[in-house]
Amino acid sequence: MISIKDLSKVFQTKDQEVRAVDDLSLTIDKGEIFGVIGYSGAGKSTFIRLLNRLEDPTGGNISVDDQDLTAMNKNQLRIARQEIGMIFQHFNLLWSRTVFDNIAFPLEIAGVSKQERKNRVNELIDLVGLSGRGNSYPSQLSGGQKQRVGIARALANNPKVLLCDEATSALDPETTDSILDLLVDINEKLGLTIVLITHEMHVIRKICHQVAVMEDGRIVEQGDVLDVFLHPKQKVTKRFVDQVMGDPEKEHSLQLINDKYQTGEILRLHFVGERTNQALISDVSRKFEVDVNILHGKITQTQKGAYGTMFVQFVGEKNEIDRAVQYIESTSVEVEVSPSV
């Protein structure tokens, strides 16, 4: 659906060149919710603006549905952009227009007839959950409602791709979740390909199928969201995973436990899918002569299933602990022995 090859963007400042996007290649499948995550300055905002050529690339190619956007002239690009919707962090609404007229605006530009515009706008107002608010102005709406208008406007021309530029960053957590639920609903109902950028791993965890991690203009890690949660390879990725699964006091807590007890072994257990719902710890306590102390644990949900992690302390004879670990591994739960701290 979207093919990106050797994409780069260099900005020339007074003193130096800034390589915001550096030789980036990526493939995004049709109907996928694809997340790009990175900290400030990673290049992700530039990247998403390159996808519809709000920024012109310095080098490389971008193809959407087998159309090479980088080879298009202005007229061709204007037509192609009708198939690429975009929503923004700060909504970018026209404050002098009503909800209805904001959503209708791209249809006016496209030359759609008045009756068709009316039908389409009313359909979109219902789709995004704004029934009865068509005559309201942006100043009369909450942040979540404004973003729903932005989403409806982006969908006006029946695009094949929806780009989301930090679409929930200006919203509170509860409103963020409602907007993310709406995006999932739109993806499923319309088969829309969604590309979103964010610095929040909660957003990736909740709705994305695939994720790419950006740092210094490059993709440093990429994969299925559940796989990335389970096996983050890069330091920056581990920091993002810890946003959702981590505990900033965890290492300090483990240090205190080791200092206090200085016995047994501390294990990190990874649970995936149905294993998160099984009473593994009680099974181990019944089957083996080990004392089990639960130190830290958390379960979260991704689009591909549940993922849990738990730190436990096993106290007992070494051979009995080893047998217990072998039993846990036989259940497909991953076991990582924490080094002494």
Angle at 169 between CA 181 and CA 135, to 5 degrees: 65
CATH 3.30.70.260 occupies which residues in the chain?
246-337
CATH 3.40.50.300 occupies which residues in the chain?
2-244
pLDDT per residue as tens digits for the range 181-238: 999 999 999 999 999 999 999 899 999 999 999 999 999 999 999 888 888 899 999 8
Tokens of 137: 């102005």
Choose the CATH number for 2-244 among 3.40.1050.10, 1.10.1060.10, 3.40.50.300, 3.20.20.70.
Answer: 3.40.50.300
Determine if residue 97 is left, alpha or beta; phi over 0 gives left, psi from -120 to 50 gives alpha, anything else beta: beta
Bridge partners of 35? 196, 211
In the chain, the N- to C-terminal Cα span, in Å, equals 48
pTM over 0.75: yes
pLDDT per residue as tens digits for the range 135-184: 999 999 999 999 999 999 999 999 999 999 999 988 999 999 999 999 99
pLDDT per residue as tens digits for the range 292-338: 888 777 777 777 777 778 888 898 898 999 999 999 888 878 888 76
Give the distance, in angstroms, between the CA of residue 3 and the centroid of all CA atoms in the same chain.
19
**pLDDT of residue 339 exceeding 60:** no
Per-position DSSP letters for 116-166, written without gaps between them: HHHHHHHHHHHHTT-TT-TT--GGGS-HHHHHHHHHHHHHTT--SEEEEES
**The domain 246-337: what is its CATH number?**
3.30.70.260
> Would you tell me how many other CB atoms lie within 10 Å of the CB of residue 221?
19
